[in-house]
Amino acid sequence: MKRISTGMFVCLYVLLIQTSCSPKKEEKIENIEYQVTTPILLDTTISKNYVSQIQSIRNIEIRGLEKGYLQQIYVDEGQTVQAGQLLFKIMPKFYEAEYLKTQAQVKAEEIELENTKALSDKNIVSKNELALAQAKVDQAKAEMSLAKLHVTATEIRAPFAGTINRIPLKLGSLVDEGQLLTTLSDNSQVYAYFNVSESEYLDYQTHIQNRANNEVNLLLANNEVLKYKGKVETIESEFNNETGSIAFRARFPNPDKLLRNGETGRVQMLVPLKKALIIPQKATYEIQDKIYVFVVDKNGIVKSRNITIGNELPDLYLVSSGLAETDRILIDGVQKVKDDDKIKVEFVAPQDVMSHLQIHAQ
């Protein structure tokens, strides 16, 4: 009898504890008030990076025009040269001999012309013979000019000022006609080529009047920004069917010769956005690389929703899908609530929420 009374007492005690605790817990939850807001539509601009390929404003191949042995190399790899500077000399003995031969032929034909002219003046030979002698002189001079051109072609000179690149051949190498000797780059300015998607291209062209300018920055491989700004100069005429993109070209000054042909970087361009749907980043949470927000209906019921982020600004997300302008989203207590919770809310105007955040509206 004593054992039964003790058991009943314990059960009654546990029941009283549960009954007394439950109302307090519910009361605590109901008294918490969470802030909600709505997305805001704004015209803004974002800075977007595009992988770019850098090319010298002029980059050409220097090739041998004549066949022969490489007799002299007057420059070194990486050396800066001036326009007209002698770079290479191909052994010119054969062409020099040809040139001397044609010089002698010109002299012989000129002597023959003088003799024919003297005879013509005395009416011993006809005018036709005089004209034929003159034609032979002209032909000999043409052959001499051609031979001189061959001799000149054995001296390879820089067509413009620039930097010498790799020299694959060494002294004494046999150079075939048209063989590559080196390449020459004019790095005083450079081009940066980068690809833009079709939608971004349309925005760029459609809102061209709304852009402050066409200036762009260049982010280098070491994540430092080039101190000289570039300008978008031209857009290619066709889209790439495989990638759905089109190539832009920006020109950058390069007085320090920091940039070289073949270098890579990222062009930073301001992209205008019309009626972008913007929310604060603090209203979101991430699960397995997906971004979610809590949407609160008119009855205060919380529902999680997956959204797609189109672009990002400091403290802000630009939503491309998953939300409407009228949706109420939770902006505090994101880590405290869960699906189907019923909460009290206080609405805060989106302008007030974002007034202290970093945003750049047009």
pLDDT digits (tens, 9 = 90+) for 167-188: 999 998 988 888 999 999 999 9
First-to-last C-alpha distance (Å) of the chain: 85
The pLDDT mean for the chain works out to 84
Q: How confident is the model at residue 60, as a pLDDT?
A: 96
Q: How confident is the model at residue 207, as a pLDDT?
A: 63
| Segment 234-286, tens digit of pLDDT | 999 999 989 999 999 999 999 999 999 999 999 998 877 778 899 999 999 99
Residue 19 has pLDDT above 80, yes or no: no
User: Given the structure tokens 């994540």, which residue do they identify?
Assistant: 223
**What's the burial of 296, exposed, middle or buried (CB within 10 Å: 0-12/13-18/19+)?**
buried
Residue 308 has pLDDT above 90, yes or no: yes
Q: How confident is the model at residue 294, as a pLDDT?
A: 96
What is the rounded distance in angstroms from the CA atom of residue 241 to the CA atom of residue 249? 19
Structure tokens of 281? 């980043």
Q: What's the pTM?
A: 0.64
Residue 248 makes CB contacts below 8 A (sequence gap 6+) with: 50, 193, 194, 195, 196, 232, 234, 235, 236, 267
Q: How confident is the model at residue 213, as a pLDDT?
A: 59
User: Given the structure tokens 């000054």, which residue do they identify?
Assistant: 253
Residue 127 has pLDDT above 90, yes or no: no
Residue 336 makes CB contacts below 8 A (sequence gap 6+) with: 32
| Segment 325-335, tens digit of pLDDT | 999 999 988 98
Mean pLDDT within 290-294: 95
Q: Which domains are present in the chain?
A: 32-46+275-354 (2.40.420.20), 47-57+186-272 (2.40.30.170), 92-153 (1.10.287.470)
DSSP E strands in the chain: the ranges are 33-37, 40-63, 68-73, 80-81, 86-90, 155-157, 162-164, 174-175, 180-197, 215-219, 230-235, 245-253, 264-280, 284-287, 290-296, 302-313, 316-321, 329-330, 344-347
| DSSP character at residue 361 | B
Helix (H, G, I), strand (E, B) or coil at 55: strand
Residue 44 has pLDDT above 50, yes or no: yes
Element spanning 99, H or E:
helix 93-121
What is the rounded distance in angstroms from the CA atom of residue 111 to the CA atom of residue 104? 11
From 18-22, 121-125, 140-144, 301-305, the region with the lowest mean pLDDT: 18-22
DSSP 137-158: HHHHHHHHHHHHHHHHTTEEE-
